[in-house]
Amino acid sequence: MDSINDINKEILKCNRCSLCNYKTNYVPGDGNINSKILFIGEAPGRDEDIQGKPFVGKAGKILTENINHILNIDRKDVYITNLIKCRPPNNRKPTDEEIKACSIWLEKQINILKPDIIITLGSYSTSWIFNYFNIKFNSIMKDRGKVYKINYWNKEIKIIPTLHPASTIYNKEWRAIFDKDFYLIKDLINKNNTGILRYI
Ligand code: SF4
Pocket-forming residues, ligand 1, beta carbon under 6 Å: 11, 14-17, 19-20, 26, 84-86, 98, 101-102
199 has a pLDDT exceeding 80:
no
200 has a pLDDT exceeding 60:
no
Confidence of residue 198 (pLDDT cuts 50, 70, 90): confident
Average pLDDT over residues 20-46: 97
Report the separation in Å between the CA atom of 29 and the middle of ligand 1, taken as the mean of its atom positions. Answer: 13
* All domains in the chain, ordered by first residue: 18-191 (3.40.470.10)
What is the torsion angle, in degrees rounded to the nearest 10, for the CA atoms of residue 46, residue 40, residue 60 and residue 33? -110
Confidence of residue 51 (pLDDT cuts 50, 70, 90): very high
More confident site: 198 or 75: 75
Minimum-distance ligand 1 atom for the alpha carbon of 14: 8
Secondary structure (3-state) at 167: helix
Report the separation in Å between the CA atom of 57 and the middle of ligand 1, taken as the mean of its atom positions. Answer: 21
Confidence of residue 166 (pLDDT cuts 50, 70, 90): very high
The percentage of residues in the chain with a pLDDT greater than 70, rounded to a whole number, is 100
Tens of pLDDT, residues 107-134: 999 999 999 999 999 999 999 999 999 9
Tens of pLDDT, residues 141-150: 999 999 999 9
29 has a pLDDT exceeding 80:
yes
pLDDT of residue 85: 98
Counting Cα atoms < 13 Å in the Cβ hemisphere of 36 gives 21
CB 181 within 8 A of CB 146: no
Tens of pLDDT, residues 90-113: 999 999 999 999 999 999 999 999
| Alpha-carbon distances of 121 from 18, 154, 166, rounded to whole Å | 24, 25, 9
pLDDT of residue 195: 85
